Amino acid sequence: MAVKKTKKDEALKVLLERIERAEGYRDSNYRDKWLEYYKMYRSIPPEVEAGRSNVFVPYTFTNIETIAARITESLFANRPYVIVMPQEDGDADKAEKTQTLLDYQLEQIIRLKRIFSENIIKCLCIYGTAVSYTGWQVKERKVKKLQQGYEYLQSDETGEPLRFDDMNEPIVVEKLTVAEQIQTVYDDPIVQSIDIFDYFVDPKATCVSDARFCGHREYQTKEQLSELVKTAGYSIDWKTLAPADNIENGTTKRHLDIGISGSGEGDTERNNAALYEVLHYWEDNRHAVIINRCQLVLDGDNPFWYGEKPYDVCRYIPLANEFYGIGIPEINKALQSELNTTRNQRIDYNTMTMRRMWKLRKGSGLTSRDLIWRQGGVLEVNEMDDLQEINVQELPASAFANEANIKQDMRDATGCHDVVMGLSNNDETATTTITKDNNASIRFKAIIGSVEEDMLVPIAKKCIALDKQFLSSERAVRIVGEDKEVSDMMYIDPFEINGEYDIYYVGSAVEPMATKQANKQRYLEAFSIAAGLPEYAASPQAKINLLRELFKSLEIRDVEALLPDISVMQEQAAGATQQQKPQQIDRVGGLDLSRLVAGEGVV
């Protein structure tokens, strides 16, 4: 008798077909390429030939690390990272508090710069595509704390409470006790970098917004899933579930490809630390969760009020009407192979020249064993030409020039020129260096603008929407400056952030390093000129404003603490003016009136 399938079984079948179709499209078209690009980043040669040089020149690694650092520092050069503008005039105060709360969460709670620096920007440069997830997380932890309590002081002999003689009341003393508490350690938005090997998307999609579905795979412990049964409404039948035998996430695939084993082994014991495969399936208005590809534990509406899929995707070099972009290893692939071949040929040639070959005359009585080098050895020959060395020409200089040309081609292709890496020719003028730096920065401006528009601004919008939805009590926000010192404390109520806003990203600064150095020199020259002008000497406020801009250009932190007190400068200027007035009266038209005496025509 056939078992009748329920609606839940039918839904599970449909969802698995979509997920596996998306995974099949991804793996068949991109998986091997991404593994190759990862090996290029790790400078691992594709094949190792015995007896030959197998050097992999780490030039792609150099390009990626240089460009990733440049992009990260440019994206997070200024704070606040985003500004929140009200759509209505009455929401100006709400917008200011929303911006303060958002800046605090992105910098202090989420650590957005670190997530981008260590994960998102690296994935963007290596694979050409980076994926982020934005959601809300509540994390509780059982902790032990000391509590102040009281107890009656008892007699050692009778065990009865001791009492005061005059009042006949028991003697009470303080006592510290240890108590267990459930403490909320995290209740804020989260931003995660999703491994591109674990992310699946509708094969017809060109971006997240037009994808019919998307999602990602992760591995969670039984303890974590049991907690989600309480908080997220998961319905899990543990009797039919077994822990995952093999961990097949992106990290495991990359490790196996480069020879690292053991990271993909699962734990078959049914304990709280055992791992289970969890598939998250998202549509704009739907969220489903599948465990071990056999049990649909959640299938409901999108839990987030903003009504979008919680993923954002950015590309290093986008391709028209394609979801995945191009990364640096794909650009460098052919040139990196040529560079490796050129370097290994030189090494093999040098090795050959050191292992010399000889010509032996037949009948000379010498054998190949006689040619083995030994200290103080002597060869006896009948004729001087019985033994002759086969001369090998030295490596031509063009071989070195060829490698330099290949590296220059790689720099031209990626835009990672010497000036971007902080190098310049000794015979270059400052103008030439600045011009090169400006031209190199044009490409990075386009990439940084794409990351801002496709990922950073959407993340900020999602965080604000999540704050409106999940923030339930007053939140104390520490206002921390760039010098990591707390300057103020602000208390924000959930009702004070409820409004409609426009979000603009203002944290980036794509100013070339050479231009920064030139601006520093210009500010120093301008200050030295202005300091000698009488107009600036008479206006302390103008001098302080110029000094403030000078300190900022020199990238000095805590500028306000270093500026002089304007009231003191005004008093000094007033005192100097009073001292100069008598001298100005005593001297008129070049005559020193103070030396004139009455009776000599002086009234």
Beta bridge partners of 300: 287
Is residue 27 in some structural domain? Answer: yes
Contact 335, 230 (CB under 8 A): no
Note whether 207 and 304 are same-domain residues.
yes
d(CA 118, CA 114): 6
pTM above 0.85, yes or no: no
Peptide bond into 80 cis (omega under 30): yes
Note whether 316 and 424 are same-domain residues.
no
3-state SS class at 149? strand
Is residue 415 in some structural domain? Answer: yes
**245: Cβ contacts below 8 Å, ≥ 6 apart:** 266, 268
Model confidence band, residue 132 (pLDDT cutoffs 50, 70, 90): very high
Note whether 142 and 213 are same-domain residues.
yes
**Helices assigned H by DSSP within 308-385:** 328-354
Q: Which two tokens stand for residue 372?
A: 């083995």
Lowest mean pLDDT among 235-239, 249-253, 364-368: 364-368
CB atoms within 10 A of CB 424: 17
Note whether 113 and 259 are same-domain residues.
no
What are the pLDDT digits (tens) for 37-66?
Answer: 999 999 999 888 887 888 999 999 999 999
Note whether 307 and 229 are same-domain residues.
yes
What are the pLDDT digits (tens) for 355-383?
Answer: 778 888 887 888 888 888 888 888 888 88
**Is the model more confident about 497 or about 395?**
497
Among the candidates 511, 543, 562, a domain finishes at 511
Is residue 153 in some structural domain? Answer: yes
Note whether 31 and 158 are same-domain residues.
yes
Model confidence band, residue 260 (pLDDT cutoffs 50, 70, 90): confident
Note whether 120 and 92 are same-domain residues.
yes
Note whether 110 and 218 are same-domain residues.
no
In terms of average pLDDT, the best of 85-89, 167-171, 296-300 is 296-300
Angle between helices 430-451 and 59-75 (to 10 degrees): 70
Is residue 381 in some structural domain? Answer: no
Note whether 123 and 133 are same-domain residues.
no
Is residue 394 in some structural domain? Answer: no
Q: Which amino acid is at 307?
A: G
Is residue 24 in some structural domain? Answer: yes
CA 326 to chain centre: 19
Residue 596 in this model has a pLDDT that exceeds 50: no
d(CA 319, CA 207): 11
pLDDT of 584 = 47
Instruction: Please give the residue range of the domain that contains residue 108.
Output: 60-128+405-511
What are the pLDDT digits (tens) for 301-352?
Answer: 999 999 999 999 999 999 999 999 999 999 999 999 999 999 998 888 888 8
What are the pLDDT digits (tens) for 446-458?
Answer: 899 999 999 999 9
DSSP 482: T
Is residue 337 in some structural domain? Answer: no
Among the candidates 285, 306, 326, a domain finishes at 326
382-396: b (≥16 Cβ within 10 Å) or e: eeeebbeeeeeeeee
pLDDT of 600 = 44
Apex 100 CA angle, 96 and 105, nearest 5? 145
The position carrying tokens 């000889």 is: 358
Q: Which two tokens stand for residue 498?
A: 């409820």
Q: List Cα–Cα distances, 220 to 247, 249, 428, in angstroms.
A: 11, 12, 57
Note whether 478 and 529 are same-domain residues.
no
In terms of average pLDDT, the best of 220-229, 263-272, 441-450, 594-603 is 220-229
Among the candidates 511, 541, 574, a domain finishes at 511
**What percent of the chain stands above pLDDT 90?**
41
Is residue 485 in some structural domain? Answer: yes
Note whether 22 and 98 are same-domain residues.
no
Handedness of CA 318, 319, 320, 321 (dihedral sign): negative
Note whether 197 and 288 are same-domain residues.
yes
The gap between the terminal CA atoms of the chain, to the nearest Å, is 135
Model confidence band, residue 36 (pLDDT cutoffs 50, 70, 90): very high
How many domains does the chain divide into?
Answer: 3
Q: Which two tokens stand for residue 357?
A: 């070959």
CB atoms within 10 A of CB 276: 21
**Is the model more confident about 150 or about 338?**
338
Apex 538 CA angle, 534 and 540, nearest 5? 120
**267: Cβ contacts below 8 Å, ≥ 6 apart:** 243, 273, 274, 275
